[in-house]
Amino acid sequence: MANGSGARPLRVLVAGGGIAGQALAFWLTRGGHGVTVVERFPALRATGAQVDLRGQGIEAVERMGLLDAVRGKLVDEAGVAFVDACGRARATIMANTSGQGRQTLTSEYEIMRGDLVRILHDASKDDTEYLFGVSMDAFEQDEQKVVAHFSDGSSAEFDLLVGADGQGSRIRQAILPEGFDPYWRVGIHMAYWFIPRIASDTNVRDTYMVPGGRQIMRRSHNPSETQVYFVMREESEEASVIHREPVERQREFWASRFRDAGWQTARFIDGMQTSPFFYSQEIVQVRTDTWSKGRVVLVGDAAHCASPYSGMGISGGLVGAYVLAGEINRHPGDLPTALARYDSVLRPFVDEIQGEVNPRLLRLGMPMTQRAIDAFLAATALACFLHVPDLAARFSKEDRGGSWQLPENPAPISAV
Ligand SMILES: Cc1cc2nc3c(=O)[nH]c(=O)nc-3n(C[C@H](O)[C@H](O)[C@H](O)COP(=O)(O)OP(=O)(O)OC[C@H]3O[C@@H](n4cnc5c(N)ncnc54)[C@H](O)[C@@H]3O)c2cc1C
């Protein structure tokens, strides 16, 4: 496909077939470029727990023409309840379904990450070359090209390499100054997995607070499965490195930290042992002053992970891919301009969504003592009784992401 600018189509390598990598391939192929996506996982990595789309992320999906596909897979979550050790709801914040104002803790667009990955794949696979079970291990670049070296021993030349390789990006490490630490830590860790659903698991998300800065969440996304989340405040070295240990070690770690927590903890830990899915991560943001070097550029979490607490992790990846593709499609013969504009257009949005995360507030929501938990629950119950969360959501002007507007469509008119 011609790109309409007269410049030759680019050969682009995208390392990482997650949310941002696939969204980028969708838009770049519509701009007439040849895109190869390498994913180190042996198949489409359509796993993960429940994620939400908000603000500009919803609009980005709409501009891809995929909003109906997303609507067809939405998870029905009515709201969030704060429960006590007997499972009694002490306070419940319902989703804002008024169509006005801001989303509450539950978004109108809750979807399983795997479903979103599959939707993006179906929409991009016909025009993109996907290689699974291949990781991009190393590269070198000069003014004319990037040479990428793959885990299967092969190498190939491209005009542009895109690091869509997630929070722990190795490509980011290779383009930033040696020793630079891009992680902004909030001192919180999280693990999540699936267990069989039982009759008392409703479509309201339960949140149970445990002394010691711990929290357990339960939410159910289909008739047979329930998601369990363990979250805790901890700043030890052990907690920071556990996420890179073998899964067995991670499971032991999380079980040991929560065994005494009460409520349904025994059921959740039992289910962890046989869960088909288990994911453990430190809550971090990725903050760097630069997202590109020469012919290498970062997108999604690799560039600007905002963390799940921003509520904009997925939306940020979709919006970042949209902006990057737009600038490349508009300036295919001038990559330095395209990459500089990508940075200047997107950065205010990234600053906005990263700024939504306030570690002090997060810690306040994860108290250390039972007395502080009781006070938190009493205050939340009173606020809910007075409809404060509901009114605050309806009458606030903007959703997360602020007033920043998506730029014009990334695909040339003739291609959409
Ligand atoms: C398995 C998984 C489960 C997740 N579950 C959740 C969740 O439940 N809730 C949530 O909020 N967020 C989750 N996330 C993170 C979420 O997807 C991102 O925050 C967001 O969507 C931005 O997406 P991304 O494409 O930038 O990164 P990611 O979605 O993390 O995708 C990065 C991809 O790059 C691949 N990759 C890494 N290195 C290489 C390499 N060298 N060569 C080739 N491929 C490589 C990885 O296998 C991965 O598929 C999950 C991520 C993954 C990978």
Across 187-197, average pLDDT: 96
Cα-to-chain-centroid distance, residue 31: 25
Residue 397 has a pLDDT of 59
Q: If pLDDT is split at 50, 70 and 90, which confidence band does 104 have? A: low
Q: If pLDDT is split at 50, 70 and 90, which confidence band does 396 have? A: low
Give the tens place of pLDDT for each residue, 356-387: 899 888 888 899 999 999 999 998 888 888 88
Beta-ladder partners of 162: 14, 297
* 218 touches 263 (CB < 8 A): no
Please name the residues in contact with 252: beta carbons below 8 A apart, sequence gap of 6 or more.
none
Whether 415 shows a pLDDT value over 50: the answer reads no
Q: Whose CA is closest to 325, among 33, 94, 118?
A: 33
Give the single-character DSSP code of 406.
-
Beta-ladder partners of 167: none
Query: Would you tell me how many other CB atoms lie within 10 Å of the CB of residue 216?
Result: 22
- d(CA 293, CA 291) in angstroms, rounded, equals 7
Give the SS3 label for residue 380: helix
Place of tokens 């899915």: 277
Where does ligand 1 bind, in terms of residues with CB under 6 Å? 15-21, 38-41, 45, 47-49, 51, 113, 135-136, 164-166, 170, 279, 300-302, 308, 313-314, 317
Structure tokens that stand for 185 in this block: 């830590």
Please name the residues in contact with 341: beta carbons below 8 A apart, sequence gap of 6 or more.
327, 331
Q: Whose CA is closest to 270, among 226, 239, 233, 232?
A: 226
- Please name the residue whose Cα sits nearest to atom 19 of ligand 1: 313
Whether 401 shows a pLDDT value over 90: the answer reads no
Cα(291) to centroid(ligand 1), Å: 18
CA dihedral 134, 272, 70, 120 (to 10 degrees): 0
Mean pLDDT of the chain: 92
Give the SS3 label for residue 299: coil
Q: Which of 36, 45, 227 to mutate to test the pocket of ligand 1 (most atoms within 8 A of CB)?
A: 45
Whether 408 shows a pLDDT value over 50: the answer reads yes
Cα(414) to centroid(ligand 1), Å: 32
> Which domains are seen in the chain, by residue range?
11-177+291-357 (3.50.50.60), 187-283 (3.30.9.30)
Give the tens place of pLDDT for each residue, 299-339: 999 999 999 888 899 999 999 999 999 999 999 999 999 99
Cα(264) to centroid(ligand 1), Å: 29
- Please name the residue whose Cα sits nearest to atom 38 of ligand 1: 165
Cα(325) to centroid(ligand 1), Å: 19
* 141 touches 174 (CB < 8 A): no
- d(CA 340, CA 343) in angstroms, rounded, equals 5
Reported pTM? 0.92
Residue 27 has a pLDDT of 97
Residue 334 has a pLDDT of 96
Residue 102 has a pLDDT of 62
Q: Whose CA is closest to 339, among 285, 302, 298, 300?
A: 298
Residue 412 has a pLDDT of 62
Structure tokens that stand for 106 in this block: 């539950």
Q: Whose CA is closest to 183, among 199, 196, 166?
A: 166
Residue 99 has a pLDDT of 63
- d(CA 168, CA 282) in angstroms, rounded, equals 11
Query: Which stretch of 106-110, 137-141, 331-335 has the lowest confidence by average pLDDT?
Result: 106-110
Residue 413 has a pLDDT of 42
- Please name the residue whose Cα sits nearest to atom 21 of ligand 1: 314
CA dihedral 392, 397, 402, 408 (to 10 degrees): 140
Cα(164) to centroid(ligand 1), Å: 8
Give the single-character DSSP code of 8.
P
Across 402-408, average pLDDT: 89
Residue 114 has a pLDDT of 97
Give the tens place of pLDDT for each residue, 3-51: 556 689 999 999 999 999 999 999 999 999 999 999 999 999 999 999 9
Q: Which of 152, 165, 297, 346 to mutate to test the pocket of ligand 1 (most atoms within 8 A of CB)?
A: 165
Q: Whose CA is closest to 355, among 394, 397, 406, 310?
A: 310
Residue 93 has a pLDDT of 85
Beta-ladder partners of 50: 112
Q: Which residue has the higher pLDDT, 390 or 200?
A: 200
Whether 242 shows a pLDDT value over 80: the answer reads yes
- The H-or-E segment that residue 104 falls in is none
Structure tokens that stand for 321 in this block: 């891919």
Residue 416 has a pLDDT of 40
Across 144-167, average pLDDT: 97
Helix axes 113-124, 19-30, angle to 10 degrees: 20
H helices then E strands: how many in the chain? 14, 18
